[in-house]
Structure 1
Amino acid sequence: MLSFTEVATATNNAAWNCEQSKNGEWTCLNQGQPSQEAAQPKVITTKKAPQAEQPAVATETPARQPEPAVTQTTPIPASVQQEPAIQQAGQPADEKPAESVAVNPRKPRVTYAENQKPVTDETSPERNKPAATAVAKNPGWTCQSGTGANGNWNCNLVGPDPKGEAQAVADTETGTTWLTPAYDRQQERIFQTLRGEFEQDPWQNCSSWSAKKRKIKGTAGPTRDEANTDVLSDFSEVFEGEILNFAGNVDLNRADQHLSADKASYDSVADTMDAQGNVIYSEDTLALASDTVSISLGKDEARIRQAQFIEAGAPLRGTAEVMYRDNKSLSRYHEATFTSCPPGNQDWVMHASRVKINRESGQGSAKNAWLEFKGVPVVYTPYISFPVDNRRTSGLLAPTWSNTERNGFDFAAPFYWNIAPNYDAVITPRYMQKRGEMLRNKFRYLTESSQGSLGAEILPDDQLRDKSRYSATFKDNTRFTDRLTSATNLNYVSDKEYFNDMNNALGFQTNRFLPSTSYLNYSRPDFAISGGVNHYQSVDKTITDAGMPYDILPRVNMSLGHNFDNMPLALAMENQYTHFYHTDLVNGQRLNLAPSVSFPLESSAGFFIPKITGQYTNYQLTNRTAANQPDNISRFLPIFSADTGMTFEKQLDIGGSAYTHTLEPRLFYLYIPRKDQSDIPVFDTAAFDTSFYSLFRENRFSGVDRIQDANQITVAGSSRFIDAATGLEPLKISLGQILYFQDRTVNLPGVTDQTSTTSNFIGELSGQVTNHLSYTAGAQWDPEANGFARGLAMLKYRNQPDEIFDVGYRYRRNTPNDQSSFINPLNNVTTQTAVGQTISQTDVSFRWPLAAGWYGLGRWQYSFNFGKTTESFIGIEKENCCWRLRVIGRRYINGATTTDILAPDAKPENAVFVQLELKGLTGFGDQVDKFLQRNLNGYRPASYFED
């Protein structure tokens, strides 16, 4: 409290202007006599802080004023000069200090190593510790509206009068609790400061899902233990060589540890640091800010109140009323908030009464947690665990839900079980409103030589079908040695419509058969052998038992090949043994031997490759369905081919740009004698579709049950224009046709002989206009029908990952001789179609930026000959640093429930899907990204772009 004399003096002298600091000290200026010199501050030490209701009087600071001296609490070494002190507490106000000296100190440096006493670098005079410090205030006018009848303003001036200059307006708090930011502006500024403590921004490239994201790695323990500690400050003092006090711009560095504060005290024996005032501390992947921090540097322990922190490994940021650092990897937070959003973004924030983060296990947990999104509370949970890095941890995964016509409300809540570092499992209870409860489990393993998974799911009682339904799958890849490997993929379902009923509209079954395979492979230079089995199960209710493919029990492939370095000679031999099994058709064992010799003559100007192959095939047949058919059939056919081509180049100047123009003519002759093969069953053989590259095949059939008869020559050629500056190929033209010297009588069952003298005339056009824009076009002219048999045009734009656009048209005139499947060139998906139907359809797909980080995406397939949409979806997508949202609406015709998807009465289905992912926390909804990867050409998952 103030002494009686001091109170009387202050009362009788109206010119005193006083202000009280937080620690209970008064600072007064005497302004009674205008003719006197500028008033000096009078610091009055009190024993007790005044009550809160005492008024604070603004203090006007003189333009020039000596800094307060540090009051020395221990003897000062003789080698250190002491600066003259300013007016002391009991000194009269009108007296001047004994001596006034302008001081411009240099910061003392204290450096010490482990097990050593601190050493002070006394390059400048040491300052005394101040007895009191005036309360810091922003300069300028501070006004409040007056009270009473006159309503006058109550204003105080701090510092010189700004005379109308613009001043910063203090932050104000809003009165509503809804939509109130979790962090105010001052806290966000502190987060930005903490963000700068890391060499690499924790949120670097976080707004782009395709950008490279490199994890911030910590510093090794020995690096910190062996490092020296370097401290800079405005003032410092040392007690008995063990206790160090620092004041004013304290800056401490040791290895990855960094601390800055207004004041700090370090005990070199206990290796502890206490810091006060604007404290910033960072180490490894952690940075925090507080007013007071107590840290045990040797034990990596800390206690911080009113803390703000950033965990860069996740990355996460948040606040806590109290933060405890138990060791280098474990930290606890009371009354905490956290988010993965970068500073300046608070789209989602998790609040919790208790939070624990363990960087050693890579796991965090929170109690009594509730989530707010866009300022609105959405979810509460008494307990939640979450990862703080990319390591696997046990816990609940994001639930999925949907509402479909087949299943009603469909909800699944997967649980991830991290059994061991090399074993884990996902257990998923699932509820379908119309069908009942299902349980699904997928177990994964990883050993030194093997990796694989075992999955099973069961629906004990399907209420719609009144039966139990189930499925199982097993996948394994094993490497026994560098040359010996195995691959197994076994699958089974309870019925043909299982996938159609159990999958949602994002993943319904498109394959007609469910394969199961297992093979053992051995390879070395010039030699490879493999053996295994194939089994197929029908998952299409329209397929009869007779329409099932053959099981292969087993198949053995052996390949031999050798090229001679000193002569143009290449030897090869392709051998295969297969046992085909079918319950309703003829069975058989097939042995096929195909030795060959070729003489490749190649140079930069051209090539000539004659080749002779001997094709021997033997069949041992059983279960013949017709009488008087042989059980043992052998076939031998010699095959002769000669492939030759030339390459001509010329340099051109087009529009001032240099181009390389090439001309590449090519001839391919093929001769195979005619042999009747109608008594040979067709086990695994089909006809290739016609394309430019099929003009150079030795067999127009995919298997060896049919070897074509041929006496023909292919006349073809290509021409390219290559940009010499960029290396791009803006134009490539390919033309070709087969000239037949005889009719083709070897065909598949039900196909008539082909008597045309020429094949379709095939032309293809392609080019890359820029690094992002390319095009492809092709057509086949049928001289027999005098019309187009095939047509394709497609334009692609790729500016990965944000801009994807494809537009294409496809035409195919089907005849009874055509095979019943084709490959869609827009997405490389095999599509089934009925024989004899003509296809004329467009396909448009895109992903394109709209505005404010939003993207539109979709696909539309339209059939002109049937006048209907066969497949379409449209959606929007947005991603920023803390969340990703996708909304997809789909309209489609399910081929698993509709025999003919192009029929006029085919009923389309509609579905809407939503996926919301809160980065660093969890996700909600369906896995839309996997659907887009399958159905949007050029779309890539986020993992595709990671290191």
Structure 2
Amino acid sequence: MEVASATDNAAWNCEQGKNGEWVCLNQGQPSQEAAQPKVIGSQKAPQAGQPAASAELPAATATMTRTVPDAPAATPQRAEQTATENPVASAEAPAPTPRASLTESQMPAPGKKAVAATNKPGWTCQSGEVGKTNWNCNLVGADPKGAAQVAAAAEAETTSNLPWLTPAYDRQQERTFELLRGEFAQDPWQNCSNWSARRRKIKGASSEAREEANTDVLADFSEVFDGEILNFAGNVDLNRADQHLSADKASYDTVADTMDAQGNVVYSESTLALAADTVSISLARNEARIRNAQFIEAAAPLRGSAAVMYRDSKSLSRYNEATFTSCPPGNQDWVMHASRVKINRESGQGSAKNAWLEFKGVPVIYTPYISFPVDNRRTSGLLAPTWSNTERNGFDFAAPFYWNIATNYDTVITPRYMQKRGGMLRNKFRYLTETSSGSLAAEIMPYDQLREKSRYSAAFRDNSRFTDNLNLLTNLNYVSDKEYFNDMNNALGFQTNRFLSSTSYLNYGRPGIAFSAGVNHYQSVDKTITDAGMPYDILPRVNLSLEHSFDNMPLALGMNNQYSHFYHSELVNGQRLNLAPSVSFPLESSAGFFIPKITGQYTQYQLSNQTAANQPDSISRFLPIFSADTGMTFEKQLNIGNTAYTHTLEPRLFYLYIPRKDQSDIPVFDTAAFDTNFYSLFRENRFSGLDRIQDANQITLAGSSRFIDSSSGLEPLKISLGQILYFQDRTVNLPGVPNQTSSTSNFIGELSGQVTNHLSYTAGAQWDPEANGFARGLAVLKFRNQPDQIFDVGYRYRRNTPNDQLAFINPSNNLVTQTAVGQTISQSDVSFRWPLAAGWYGLGRWQYSFNFGKTTESFIGIEKENCCWRLRVIGRRYINGATTTNFLAPDAKPENAVFVQLELKGLTGFGDQVDRFLQRNLNGYRPASDFED
């Protein structure tokens, strides 16, 4: 092996040309006479049993030459060792007879002839007949007579005439990537095909830790010149903290603070590993030059190559003829190429020239210039486009542009084109201040070709926090017409609410005090709703809740107060004030509880815009409410088979008394009946809102029983049963609903359990003794083996009754919405995500309504994911006119849509973003962001 022989390596500036030759210029001022250059072959010492390499080789031998300074050896022993390790380096080595030889990689396959290069001077040799050892050699031009020269590379035989199908990385480069992969303590691509696998963020050692650590160097040979220059040769291995360097040769100039390494250079640290032919580093100036480099960035993870890597400063680096991909070694499904890349970490921006992307070996995108962010700082530029295809809009394409206006302001401008409707412009502006964050979004279609009119929408979101206890939440929305969402939503979603709400509330909270004040406004997005069927606007509503408990006695005080002003253009308007002080005496222990409670409910109405004659303008109501809730818990240890269980028995009684008071003259502003389930058996009022307070003299008999696996903690069985016994008829009802005279409520039973860590079930039924039939029914079987295996199958039934103007609380804004009356629900629902084969997954959902006799929602798709890309193809059939899952518009009809998403990991995604759609429509699905640390 050749070793360094220059007394001042740092003073030489060497560049390697395209033909492989090194040209060195001595920039320093050595104290002794300048050395004369000489030719040194890069060939290794011959192995045992092989002929020694000649100093003069014909063109057929793949021998590189380079010009280096010839300095006197430090000692006679050193000079002898140099000549022994590399006979070619010795000027006195005799030149043997010229001959033609081929390396193993240049030997033609049996039955094939070597590629002739008759247009190039020198010797050209071809194999003879199969089975014979003679060579057929021809000379073109003058005989080189054994002089050392750069050998012409053999022309590789290819199986395809398409140059773009040539792999970006050859086999030798892939082997180098595998070598670099082994430099990390943890494989950067470990579990990369599983998007839900949590990955630890890799952190490198601090600069302080590296400066304090010792540097250990191992090498076959080392020498020191003038106490300043350290040369190492032969299996050089350097370690400091998390840094590791190996090379054939390395030298370090302690005065200039420079380091050079040549030959099979491998450098690694916690987050980076690279291999190169040569590395030249100026530690003092944070400069470096690396040639023929391959690298792996473990944090991303990314890998790539560059003909030359330059580090101009601590924050600026440049790359020539660069490529990179997030695919693991051995996989080149997508590769990004660029002739020049520049990265400025101080500004957080990078740029590339002549950049093009290949997928599966085929170029798909080219750009002469592109800029991109290199960290979390925002940068203006084009975002990935989205597209879909629906029956309602045809081909739908959007190309968003991101504008980073300032550090706390930005906007996304999105031109959108729909084949059947025309063009649309959308803008979403975001802001962030010391006290507020929010967005203002608007979109406009100047002319809808199908509706023959202009259409638009706007939305404003704001969250302002003035103190730790005081904040303002605003959510304002407006659309130009009732069918806007049904028409303008893409294939992934549509509006399912019948009303578009706008709210703004000021909230104050601290222990024992909760205050809120704000407004509610509703806009209909359901064309079947008339103006008279619109909810009341609330302008404003003020809530004040007070509560206090005592540590030394079982006493709890509370008071819920509310003022609301209701406005409607078609109905009676009113102002409502409600005061509800309460006192309770909670007695609780691990064995049971007993909680008596007394509440005084006072309500005052001031009415205007009366729509009926002889109605009072002022109405007041006071009702005392008494309740007593008690329950006990019994436990027993038992064995079933070879498994130990804890069996519990939890009986519960709930008594409620509210005197009867006629409330028929009170308008209904925001009140509806709650749906019936097991937990509704313990409500103090079966109505939402305050316009109706039920009359009650009743007791609830209920109980639950559980079986808990003592070893695993699983609850394979839970049974809950309950029923209300009425001691009087219920005469307080919503308008149009008759009095309820039954002596019992529906008998409610619920059954649930977790059979294994992955399999669970839920079932429930309500038996109506008066109608002698089932009023409610539910059965769901769930299998969860996140994230790959998800399967749900279920059925839901609800019979319509005269009291089915039901209220549901929207968890996003705690507002009460109502369903229509007189609809029976009978529907099945099946959804799944399941592995198929070879990394492919199937996913889908089918929701069928038996009372409508048609499918209301269905989609089916396939998904493939590996370490560097994810592909989704989904076809959807849905009823866009469905105002809810239970009701259909008169002209509702099924529609079809197909959308495709291709995500190149570590780069970008193309097509529709489907995570939100799957999270909303595939029960149990969780996006990849939920699994990030």
> For residue 452 of structure 2, what is the aligned residue in structure 1?
466
Say which is worse superposed, 871-880 or 84-93, in terms of deviation.
84-93
CA distance in 1, matches of 2:853, 2:584: 52
> For residue 662 of structure 2, what is the aligned residue in structure 1?
676
CA distance in 1, matches of 2:44, 2:704: 94
Task: Note the C-alpha offset of 1:311.
Answer: 2.8
Task: Note the C-alpha offset of 1:516.
Answer: 1.0
> For residue 715 of structure 2, what is the aligned residue in structure 1?
729
**Contact 2:882–2:892 (8 Å) recurs in 1:** no
CA distance in 1, matches of 2:769, 2:41: 105
1:154 aligns with 2:139: no
Task: Note the C-alpha offset of 1:220.
Answer: 3.8
Residue 725 of structure 2, aligned match among 728, 736, 739 = 739
Change (3 A) 1:363 1:218: farther
> For residue 701 of structure 1, what is the aligned residue in structure 2?
687
Q: Secondary structure at the match of 2:736?
A: coil
Residue 863 of structure 2, aligned match among 873, 877, 892 = 877
Letter in 2 for 1:451: S
CA distance in 1, matches of 2:388, 2:863: 19
> For residue 305 of structure 1, what is the aligned residue in structure 2?
291
Instruction: Provide Cα deviations, 1:376-415, integer angstroms capped at 9, x if missing partner.
Output: 2222222233444555333211101122233232211011
1:792 aligns with 2:771: no
Letter in 1 for 2:72: T
> For residue 3 of structure 2, what is the aligned residue in structure 1?
none
> For residue 876 of structure 2, what is the aligned residue in structure 1?
890
Residue 263 of structure 2, aligned match among 277, 293, 318 = 277
1:425 aligns with 2:424: no
> For residue 9 of structure 1, what is the aligned residue in structure 2?
none
> For residue 8 of structure 1, what is the aligned residue in structure 2?
none
Instruction: Provide Cα deviations, 1:460-503, integer angstroms capped at 9, x if missing partner.
Output: 23333333322221111122111111211111122222222211
Task: Note the C-alpha offset of 1:154.
Answer: 3.2
1:665 aligns with 2:651: yes
What pairs up with 1:222-621 in 2 under 5 angstroms?
A: 222-224=208-210, 228-283=214-269, 285-621=271-607
Change (3 A) 1:179 1:585: same
Change (3 A) 1:878 1:703: same
Say which is worse superposed, 813-822 or 908-917, in terms of deviation.
813-822
Change (3 A) 1:359 1:785: same
Task: Note the C-alpha offset of 1:598.
Answer: 0.9
Residue 627 of structure 2, aligned match among 641, 645, 664 = 641
Change (3 A) 1:148 1:800: closer
**Contact 2:856–2:885 (8 Å) recurs in 1:** no
Say which is worse superposed, 405-414 or 740-749, in terms of deviation.
405-414
CA distance in 1, matches of 2:199, 2:709: 35
CA distance in 2, matches of 1:445, 1:779: 50
> For residue 803 of structure 2, what is the aligned residue in structure 1?
817
- Unpaired runs of 5+ residues, structure 2, are 1-37, 64-69, 95-100, 114-125, 136-153
Change (3 A) 1:753 1:894: same
Instruction: Provide Cα deviations, 1:490-542, integer angstroms capped at 9, x if missing partner.
Output: 11122222222211131211111111111111112111111111111111222
Change (3 A) 1:662 1:141: same
CA distance in 2, matches of 1:879, 1:814: 46
- Unpaired runs of 5+ residues, structure 1, are 1-20, 31-37, 57-70, 94-134, 157-169
Task: Note the C-alpha offset of 1:719.
Answer: 0.8
Change (3 A) 1:423 1:361: same
Residue 175 of structure 1, aligned match among 132, 146, 159 = 159
Residue 755 of structure 2, aligned match among 733, 748, 769 = 769
Task: Note the C-alpha offset of 1:886.
Answer: 1.1
Instruction: Provide Cα deviations, 1:778-812, integer angstroms capped at 9, x if missing partner.
Output: 00001111111111111111111111111111111
Say which is worse superposed, 868-877 or 400-409, in terms of deviation.
400-409
Task: Note the C-alpha offset of 1:443.
Answer: 1.7
Letter in 2 for 1:660: T
Change (3 A) 1:627 1:784: same
CA distance in 2, matches of 1:136, 1:831: 85
1:856 aligns with 2:804: no
Number of residues of Structure 1 aligned to a counterpart in Structure 2: 847
Say which is worse superposed, 391-400 or 669-678, in terms of deviation.
391-400
CA distance in 1, matches of 2:445, 2:612: 44
Residue 196 of structure 1, aligned match among 157, 176, 182 = 182
CA distance in 1, matches of 2:831, 2:701: 36
Instruction: Provide Cα deviations, 1:43-75, integer angstroms capped at 9, x if missing partner.
Output: 87x5xx64514799xxxxxxxxxxxxxx99343
Instruction: Provide Cα deviations, 1:1-20, integer angstroms capped at 9, x if missing partner.
Output: xxxxxxxxxxxxxxxxxxxx
Say which is worse superposed, 303-312 or 344-353, in terms of deviation.
303-312
**Contact 2:882–2:888 (8 Å) recurs in 1:** no
Task: Note the C-alpha offset of 1:29.
Answer: 10
> For residue 201 of structure 2, what is the aligned residue in structure 1?
215
**Contact 1:425–1:444 (8 Å) recurs in 2:** yes
Letter in 2 for 1:613: T
Change (3 A) 1:171 1:230: farther
CA distance in 1, matches of 2:579, 2:429: 42
Task: Note the C-alpha offset of 1:77.
Answer: 11
Q: Give me the identity figure in percent.
A: 82
Letter in 2 for 1:623: N
Task: Note the C-alpha offset of 1:198.
Answer: 3.5
Change (3 A) 1:818 1:900: closer
Task: Note the C-alpha offset of 1:236.
Answer: 1.2
> For residue 102 of structure 1, what is the aligned residue in structure 2?
none
Task: Note the C-alpha offset of 1:661.
Answer: 0.9
Letter in 1 for 2:866: N
Change (3 A) 1:231 1:611: same
Q: Secondary structure at the match of 1:154?
A: coil
Residue 653 of structure 1, aligned match among 639, 646, 654 = 639
Change (3 A) 1:831 1:608: closer
Task: Note the C-alpha offset of 1:544.
Answer: 1.3
Change (3 A) 1:753 1:624: same
**Contact 2:557–2:584 (8 Å) recurs in 1:** yes
**Contact 2:604–2:618 (8 Å) recurs in 1:** yes
CA distance in 2, matches of 1:775, 1:92: 86
Task: Note the C-alpha offset of 1:897.
Answer: 7.9
> For residue 119 of structure 1, what is the aligned residue in structure 2?
none
Instruction: Provide Cα deviations, 1:630-686, integer angstroms capped at 9, x if missing partner.
Output: 111000001111111111111111102111111111111111010000000111000
> For residue 160 of structure 1, what is the aligned residue in structure 2?
none
Letter in 2 for 1:810: R
**Contact 1:915–1:924 (8 Å) recurs in 2:** yes
CA distance in 1, matches of 2:218, 2:820: 83
Letter in 1 for 2:159: G
Output the TM-score relative to the length of structure 1.
0.83
Q: Secondary structure at the match of 1:245?
A: strand
**Aligned alpha-carbon RMSD (Å):** 3.5
Letter in 2 for 1:154: T
CA distance in 2, matches of 1:82, 1:588: 109
Change (3 A) 1:84 1:175: closer
> For residue 919 of structure 1, what is the aligned residue in structure 2?
905
CA distance in 1, matches of 2:182, 2:49: 42
Instruction: Provide Cα deviations, 1:101-139, integer angstroms capped at 9, x if missing partner.
Output: xxxxxxxxxxxxxxxxxxxxxxxxxxxxxxxxxx99889
Task: Note the C-alpha offset of 1:205.
Answer: 3.0
CA distance in 2, matches of 1:389, 1:204: 23
CA distance in 2, matches of 1:682, 1:181: 73
Say which is worse superposed, 643-652 or 201-210, in terms of deviation.
201-210
